[in-house]
A and B are shown apart, each in its own frame.
Chain A
Amino acid sequence: MLEIRNLSAGYGSFQALFDVSLSVRAGESVAVIGPNGAGKTTLLRAISRLIDASSGDMVMEGRRYNDIPSHEVVSLGIAQVPEGRRLFPRLTVEDNLMMGAFTPAARRHYRERLDFVYSLFPKMKERRMQMAGTMSGGEQQMCAIGRALMSKPKLLLLDEPSAGLAPVIVQSIFELMRRIRAEGYTVLIVEQNIQQVLQVVDRGYLLETGRIRMGGPSEALLASDEIRKAYLGV
């Protein structure tokens, strides 16, 4: 579904990604793991066209989309849950969800999608008239994921969904990942929480200093010496 080939990108003269290649097939969930500063967020920003790729190809369902403006990426079927959730704090939960359905195609299914998100997260229905900024971190993450699901994306990008949340909440966020997977969504998730994320995805890539170091099925990565030594501390 998504093919990234030899992608290089950065900010100004600073290059953050070097020749990154990865793919996500329909129905699959894939994680990009790696330490802080490896370029994981930059990768998702490039995929959503928030920054330009300096070279390489980004292909969604056979269409190379390197040059489209960032606000048209949603229409390709790619929705991103940004790092730190980035809800509109002084809009209600429902208005936040409404923004997720902004594109003309999504507006047509607004009611249906809203019901879907509320059935996935009943708590959001209870909180629908509450200002998003007044909710707890875990609730805000639900709202941010719900907002991304409003456009009925083919591919859901998640940027560090567990970052900045209490350990108990982190547990429930990964539980949420499982449910979203069970709904049949194709997911590309970027995480530092390596042990936990590898338990909910099919495959993973290890990104270090802007380069893909290794890739493979989750079990293989969890079992590999390199990852066990460097990241899992065993």
Chain B
Amino acid sequence: MEFFDIFLLEAVVNGLLLGGLLALLALGLNLVFGVIDVIWICYAELIMVGMYAIWWLYSVQGFPLWLAFAFGVAVTSLLGAALHHFIVRPVLTAEPINQLLVTGGVLFFLQAAATVVFTVEFRNIGIRLPGVSVGELHLSMARLIAFAVALASIVATYLFLTRTYVGTAIRAISQDRGIMPLMGVNASRIYLLTSALGGGLAGLAACLLVLQYDIHPAIGLSFGPIAFLICVLGGLGNLVGGFLAAFIFAQFISVGGFVFHLEWGYVLAFVFFIVMMFWKPEGLFARRR
């Protein structure tokens, strides 16, 4: 019985660590939706591109890891801005279904492009971090780092959004775009910046995921749906809601997976999601209008 408790505790702690990472995954997607009102279906594919960029720079070109990480974030940031400028901007006022379709098209384009350039072979950067023991708890160093960095990025994003002029403009533009020019704000520029920030957050997620997962062209499918479900569960566009939903989701995956079986964790999480959608279709923490 005592063993059981230790393992359960370990599952809860792992769930907490996973929650931080999932919260970061959802943040960029949620931010872009909350501000621009367009869902980047291809969000996880930006992460995939970031992971390949880091792998190519570090493992193939021999860059130091920190520099590869920095470039990875820069690449996804530029990709986010380009995605907005070339793909999203022309359909800003179009029907939501058209917006979904174009960003969905980018998903397949990026997947196919990655297959052509990098083949379907699994890649990894060959860094295996050791485990960490805290008392009788055995935790993964990679997960601890991911949790700490994810939380720090979320706090930094929060401070940026609440303490700076541009961050305040990003929050304001989602409430009333029409009068932004009267404030002296160039709305197009704020959209572009938000997209670059969303892309950059995808790049940060790529830095953390590359330490734990192999890279292949379809890896986005492992994170994309989860990130999207978390955003919906928290109330699309609600950053705080998405943050909390990530931790709830992660506990289902981790503790559910421990009590039953690893794969069952995901099943439980998705069942929970479906039930919640019947009960609160607008999300657990829907934005007050």
Closest-CB distance, A35 to chain B (whole angstroms): 25
Most buried by A among B176, B178, B184: B184
A5-47 Cβ-contact flags toward B at 8 Å (1 or 0): 0000000000000000000000000000000000000000000
Q: Given contacts A90-B288, A99-B168, A102-B165, are A71 and B176 in contact (CB under 8 A)?
A: no
Given contacts A88-B172, A99-B172, contact A71 B184 (CB under 8 A): yes
B169 adjacent to chain A (CB < 8 Å): yes
Closest to B172 in A: A88
Contact B168 A91 (CB under 8 A): yes
Instruction: Find out whether the CB atom of B176 lies under 8 angstroms from the CB atom of A102.
Output: no
Residue B182 at the chain A interface, CB threshold 8 Å: yes
Picked from B168, B172, B182, the residue with its CB within 8 Å of the CB of A74 is B182
Closest B residue to A82 using CB positions: B179
Enumerate chain A residues within 8 angstroms of B165, measured Cβ to Cβ: 98, 101-102, 107
Asked if A86 and B179 make an inter-chain contact with CB atoms under 8 angstroms apart, the answer reads yes
Residue of A nearest to B175 (CB): A88
**B193 in the interface (beta carbon within 8 A):** no
B119 contacts the other chain (CB 8 A) = no
B181 touches A86 (CB 8 A): no
Report if A184 contacts B (CB, 8 A): no
Neighbouring B residues of A98 by C-beta, 8 Å: 165, 168
Chain A contacts for B179, CB-based, 8 A: 82, 86
Given A90-B288, A95-B168, A107-B165, A100:B183 Cβ within 8 A: yes
Return B218 CB to nearest CB of chain A, in Å: 39
Candidate in A75, A98, A101 with the most chain B CB atoms within 10 angstroms: A98
Q: Tell me the count of chain A residues lying within 8 A, CB to CB, of chain B.
A: 30
Could you tell me if B175 and A102 are in contact, using CB atoms closer than 8 angstroms? no
Contacting pair A71 B175 (CB below 8 A)? no
Residues of chain B within 8 A of A200, CB atoms compared = none
The answer on a CB contact under 8 Å between A80 and B182 is yes
Q: In B175-194, which residues have CB < 8 Å from any A CB? A: 175-176, 178-187
Q: Which residues of B contact A (CB under 8 A)?
A: 165, 168-169, 171-172, 175-176, 178-187, 288
Residues of A within 8 A of B (CB): 48-50, 69-75, 79-80, 82, 86, 88-91, 95, 98-103, 106-107, 147-148, 151
